[in-house]
Structure 1
Amino acid sequence: MKFIQTILRGIGQVMFQNNIYSGLLFLVGIAYNSWSLGLAALFGTIISTVTAQLLKYPKDDIQNGLYGFNGALTGIAMLCFFEVNGFTLLALFIGAVLSTITMHFLKRALPPFTAPFVMVSWFVIYSLLFVFNLPLLPSAATAGNTFKFLTALINSFGQVMLQENVITGLIFLLAILVNNRLMAVYSLYAAALGTLAGWLFSEPISGLNAGLMGYNAILCAIALSGKKRSDFMWITLTIILSTLLNIGLAMTGIITLTAPFVLATWAILALKKVKA
């Protein structure tokens, strides 16, 4: 039973929710959109968690899911970008293991957030692309050229875990609300601000409606959420910075994943330390 709770906490920690019910709702939301991606998230979390146990990493960190969430995201990414075959399943396993090891070493120097997922996924994805010549799955084009703000807002939640589905997005929002109402409010604000910022910078309507301008903002807001007035200012600044980074990285052709969130949050945390 404890192991199941650890796995659910690991999935919940993707959005910094140390709550088994939040983790269960996240898993349900993924599976609703794609059962294969739901299994990928589950297997990625299990592999990364077991790796941490075998390497005897801190027990409390493991039980709190801190060695599970990067594996969950890595697992999803492998089956989101490539069709299922022996190479991608092996890549899922290797990626989940590497995410745990990377997490362990990064957390000695700075808050790792989802950096292990980003670093490992970039390495594995581009290895599959350029070394093994595996093609990326074609992206599903979002229909219509009309900006749908509410659709973009809700899809932003799903895109944190690479899901484009309104019902999934609503389930993810509920998962945050179950654990922390303040974080839920801040995440809604972040999704709205990130999406509107993308619109002001004339980002493609299809990308806005898919939630691609809001998901990094959501992670920024949750990571920095607090009850002080200054927290609102720092969160707003981080959201804008992450949006600019999202646009800039996308222009290079790189798969952005959650890199804008990580880089923006690291930068603002460093600035806060200087200002303190």
Structure 2
Amino acid sequence: MHAAANEAQSAALRTLLRSLGQIVLQANAFTGACLLAAWLLYDPRLACAALMGAVAANVSAVLADYCEDDTRAGLHGFNGALAGLAAFNFIADNATAGAVAILAATCTAWLLAPWSRWLRARGLGIFSSPCLIVTWLWLPLVTVNATSANVTPAHALSAAQAGSGLLAGFAQTGFASEALPGLLVLIGIAAASCRHALRALIGAGFASAAHLLLGATIASFDAGLLGFNGVLTALALADCGLVTMLGGVALSSVLQAAAAYFGWPVMTAPFVLATWSVQWLTQRLALGVAAVEPAQLRDTTRRATTPVPATRES
């Protein structure tokens, strides 16, 4: 009996940690533990927010009788964790942020089933879209203290500054910052897949360079604000080929730059929209190829079976 209770507790802990790991698209408990360590190092308030949101979302998924395997993989909890992080990021008062975090995380869980069915019917992934929808619903009701980055003249980045800025982009996938938390996140991704970690580094570097070319500030790069959507897009498209992945990262960078120009709090929306666009385009191309091949086959068969007219001898 005692062993069964210990096993149940261990399974629940792994589910919780996988929910955190799914924030960077890795169904891996060690990845989740690395993210948790990154939040504890940067700001323990964020660690509490992520745990609170993940627990609320997973409990709601169990009550809604969602697929148990998906819950164990962390698919039902990570949007709740992100919703909790968003609440504590935008709301200064801890009590208000905690209440909003629990409610928002619960809403992401209840939204998950109908929204994911609608997206799957169109061949699209759900990613962090439930968190974005729920956060945008309550965000206009609170006063957000915008922290604008100081405008720093563009200059050549040192190797240390470039490395620090890239790692900070990994930390920003979970609303944190700084190089050491970002390094922990990168280690967590590499533990699940070295290939995905390498693609994420490429995505962070490509996105950061694109933003700097588009006029972003060095301060934003140092804070990791230029690379995090590139990291997530590269992870989502890691298995689609390098050119396709870079195209998605470029599109996410353009979308993020446009949103920054208008001052919209888009969070991970550029990553979601860019990935959806690539998925949609890939499907259209695949359908086009599938439609052309049978037509070519029919034409070849018709030519092969058409009798050759007999010629009259003179």
**Which interval holds the TM-score relative to the shorter structure?**
over 0.9
Pairing partner for 1:264 from 255, 262, 274? 274
Q: In the alignment, which residue of structure 2 is the partner of 1:231?
A: 241
Q: Distance in 2 between matches of 1:2 and 1:27?
A: 17
Pairing partner for 2:263 from 248, 253, 269? 253
Pairing partner for 1:95 from 92, 104, 121? 104
Distance 1:140 1:163, change over 3 A: farther
Pairing partner for 1:126 from 128, 140, 144? 140
SS in 2 for 1:107: helix
SS in 2 for 1:225: coil
The reply to whether residue 178 of structure 1 matches residue 198 of structure 2 is no
**Structure 1 residue 143: deviation in Å?**
9.3
**Structure 1 residue 138: deviation in Å?**
5.4
Q: In the alignment, which residue of structure 2 is the partner of 1:204?
A: 217
TM-score (norm: length of structure 1)? 0.92
| Unpaired segments ≥5 residues, structure 2 | 1-9, 120-124, 287-314
The reply to whether residue 113 of structure 1 matches residue 138 of structure 2 is no
Distance 1:14 1:216, change over 3 A: same
Tell me the C-alpha RMSD between the 2 structures: 1.6
Distance 1:142 1:9, change over 3 A: farther
Q: In the alignment, which residue of structure 2 is the partner of 1:139?
A: 147
Q: Distance in 2 between matches of 1:252 and 1:141?
A: 15
Are the equivalent residues in 1 in contact too, given 2:151–2:218 (CA < 8 A)? no
After superposing on structure 2, the runs of 4+ consecutive aligned residues of structure 1 that deviate more than 6 Å are: none
Deviations along 1:196-242, one digit per CA (max 9) or x if unpaired, are 0001111122112211111111111111112xxx6111100000000
| Unpaired segments ≥5 residues, structure 1 | 130-134
Q: Distance in 1 between matches of 2:281 and 2:236?
A: 15
SS in 1 for 2:117: coil
Are the equivalent residues in 2 in contact too, given 1:142–1:209 (CA < 8 A)? no
The answer to which of 104-113 and 154-163 deviates more is: 104-113
Pairing partner for 1:168 from 181, 193, 207? 181
The answer to which of 4-13 and 200-209 deviates more is: 200-209
Count of residue correspondences: 267
The answer to which of 85-94 and 39-48 deviates more is: 85-94
Q: Distance in 2 between matches of 1:138 and 1:234?
A: 34
Q: Distance in 1 between matches of 2:111 and 2:241?
A: 29
Pairing partner for 1:51 from 47, 60, 68? 60
**Structure 1 residue 139: deviation in Å?**
2.7
* AA aligned opposite 1:236: L
Distance 1:33 1:170, change over 3 A: same
SS in 2 for 1:219: helix
Q: In the alignment, which residue of structure 2 is the partner of 1:132?
A: none
Q: Distance in 2 between matches of 1:221 and 1:141?
A: 25
Which is higher, the Rg of structure 1 or of structure 2? 2
The answer to which of 98-107 and 141-150 deviates more is: 141-150
User: What is the correspondence of 1:56-71 to structure 2 with a 5 Å cutoff?
Assistant: 56-71=65-80
Pairing partner for 1:187 from 180, 191, 200? 200
Are the equivalent residues in 2 in contact too, given 1:12–1:19 (CA < 8 A)? yes
Q: Distance in 2 between matches of 1:85 and 1:177?
A: 33
Are the equivalent residues in 2 in contact too, given 1:29–1:172 (CA < 8 A)? yes
SS in 2 for 1:188: helix
Q: Distance in 2 between matches of 1:126 and 1:274?
A: 36
TM-score (norm: length of structure 2)? 0.82
SS in 2 for 1:45: helix
Deviations along 1:41-68, one digit per CA (max 9) or x if unpaired, are 0111000000100111111111110011
Distance 1:171 1:85, change over 3 A: closer
Q: In the alignment, which residue of structure 2 is the partner of 1:156?
A: 169
SS in 2 for 1:66: coil
**Structure 1 residue 142: deviation in Å?**
6.4
* AA aligned opposite 2:222: N
